[in-house]
Amino acid sequence: MSLAFRNEIDITVWLAGAEIADVAIQPRSRPPLTRLFAGKPAQSLLPVLPRLFSLCSVAHQMAFLSAVEAAQGQEVTEATARRRVTPVVVERLTELLRGLFVGPFALNGTSAAAVRAVLQASTVLGSASEAVSDPLRGEVLAQIKAALAALGMTGEGQALAPGSALAAYVERGGGEGLSPPAVEQSFLTAADDLEVVTRLLADGATYSDAPELCGRIPETGVWARRARREPVPPAAGTAARLKARIAEISRLCAWLEGVDRDAGDGAIASYRLGAGKGAAAVECARGRLYHAVSLDDGDRIVRFEFLAPTEWNFHARGPLVRSLKGAMLSAGRRGQDTVRALIGSFDPCVGFNLSFRETGHA
């Protein structure tokens, strides 16, 4: 179907000899959801969101629901808030896993079956409305762990079974062909939420198309979550990012087992921004997702704004550009594949086109 808005990102890498002199990003354009949603009852839109968003649909629903509740001044009980975190965590786990296999890493029959097993088992745990009995939960988690083990994930942090297909993939993505520069890293955290949602509701698409915080364009996602837990090296290549993703999958699995209670922290946060105005942040696989709404007296949508993690990570002056600019690149296909792998490790939620140009040949 011919959409009237761009649903992919164009990335142009400008080379000066072996050095990446510049990186230009043409972002996707945001669909006019505010125009589509305006005047409609807020509650009627909740089932529409999974129809629109193929990735992180649970996170979108939770963000929207929490933003609407905040706008209405509703207090959510602790039990409800806790119950909502599980499907967000389950979705984060499955998105992180699927992201490892969608793209450059070709699935063979065994690994495809294992990924499918995780996705299928996760649907049992992913419902916010249905309680899952302890025996069933245990059974499902055993299935997930067995499938992850078949993929080479041993369940111990980022360790991978030697000789597994995933270990070979991480090894191949080890950054040979690209020497990323050491850059000062900046990460989006829950402490930034209020400023982000306030700007989002005030400036709408102007802000969400190119978000910033006092000139700062922080990174969000797996690497940012890792940085919250432990110091991270200033030059983060593809292999380090893939390993961090694998480690997080193990941690989320442990969270679902009740072993690691930190992994779900900050998964959902909501903010009342005045009468009829509310916002929420949800920590999904690719980072912090924001929704902000303004409602009229009849709880109909007056404004609806959202900001996806990809807008930060693929900002024209954002984390991906900082990771590439100034890097030394091997000649030919090998170097280009390495750049493609690094972009993939940032895991954009849309497809991307990558091209290389020589400076002086513009």
Partner 1 sequence: MCLAIPAEVTKILPDEMAIVSIDGVSKEISVALIEDLAVGDYVIIHVGYALTKIDPDEARRTLELLCELSAEAHGAAS
Q: How many residues bind partner 1 (CB under 8 A)?
A: 37
Least distance from partner 1 to the Cβ atom of residue 114, Å:
11
Taking CB under 8 A as the rule, does residue 5 contact partner 1?
yes
Q: Strand, helix or coil at 19?
A: strand
Could you say which residues in the range 59-78 bind partner 1, by CB under 8 A? 60
Least distance from partner 1 to the Cβ atom of residue 159, Å:
25
User: Is 46 within 8 Å of 64 (Cβ atoms)?
Assistant: yes
Least distance from partner 1 to the Cβ atom of residue 311, Å:
9
Contacts of 337 (CB under 8 A, 6+ apart): 104, 177
278 vs 38, 192, 287, 361, CA distance in Å? 16, 16, 20, 49
Determine the interface stretch with partner 1 among 4-12, 130-138, 168-176, 233-241 (rule: CB under 8 A): 4-12
Q: What is the DSSP letter of 46?
A: G
User: Is 9 within 8 Å of 343 (Cβ atoms)?
Assistant: no
Interaction pattern, residues 19-58, with partner 1; x per rule: CB under 8 A: ------------xxx-xx-----------x-xxxxxxxx-
Residue written as token pair 């999958």: 249
Taking CB under 8 A as the rule, does residue 282 contact partner 1?
no
Residue written as token pair 């409800």: 80
Residue choice 11, 70, 90, 115 for contact with partner 1 (CB under 8 A):
115
- CB nearer to partner 1: pick between 3 and 191: 3
Q: Pick the closest to residue 126 from 77, 89, 165 (CA basis).
A: 89
157 CB neighbour count, 10 Å cutoff: 14
Could you say which residues in the range 320-359 bind partner 1, by CB under 8 A? 349-351
- CB nearer to partner 1: pick between 113 and 275: 113
Q: Strand, helix or coil at 145?
A: helix
Least distance from partner 1 to the Cβ atom of residue 346, Å:
13
Taking CB under 8 A as the rule, does residue 210 contact partner 1?
no
Bridge-partner residues for 280, per DSSP? 270, 291
35 CB neighbour count, 10 Å cutoff: 9
Residue choice 107, 132, 149, 210 for contact with partner 1 (CB under 8 A):
107
Residue written as token pair 């792998």: 341
Taking CB under 8 A as the rule, does residue 101 contact partner 1?
yes
Q: Strand, helix or coil at 226?
A: helix
Q: How far apart, in whole angstroms, are the C-alpha atoms of residue 225 and residue 188?
A: 9
- CB nearer to partner 1: pick between 107 and 328: 107
Least distance from partner 1 to the Cβ atom of residue 100, Å:
12
Residue choice 25, 103, 276, 356 for contact with partner 1 (CB under 8 A):
103
Least distance from partner 1 to the Cβ atom of residue 238, Å:
17
Helix or strand holding residue 301 (H, E): strand 301-307
Pairing status of strand 351-358 against strand 328-329: unpaired
- CB nearer to partner 1: pick between 118 and 244: 118
Determine the interface stretch with partner 1 among 3-11, 166-174, 237-245, 313-321 (rule: CB under 8 A): 3-11
- CB nearer to partner 1: pick between 94 and 179: 94
Residue choice 11, 178, 268, 308 for contact with partner 1 (CB under 8 A):
308
Q: Strand, helix or coil at 278?
A: strand
Q: How far apart, in whole angstroms, are the C-alpha atoms of residue 138 and residue 118?
A: 14
Residue choice 1, 191, 214, 362 for contact with partner 1 (CB under 8 A):
1
Maximum CA pair distance of the chain?
A: 65
Q: How far apart, in whole angstroms, are the C-alpha atoms of residue 174 and residue 166?
A: 12
- CB nearer to partner 1: pick between 35 and 333: 35
Residues near partner 1, by CB under 8 A: 1-5, 7, 31-33, 35-36, 48, 50-57, 60, 98, 101-103, 107, 109, 112, 115-116, 119, 306, 308, 310, 349-351
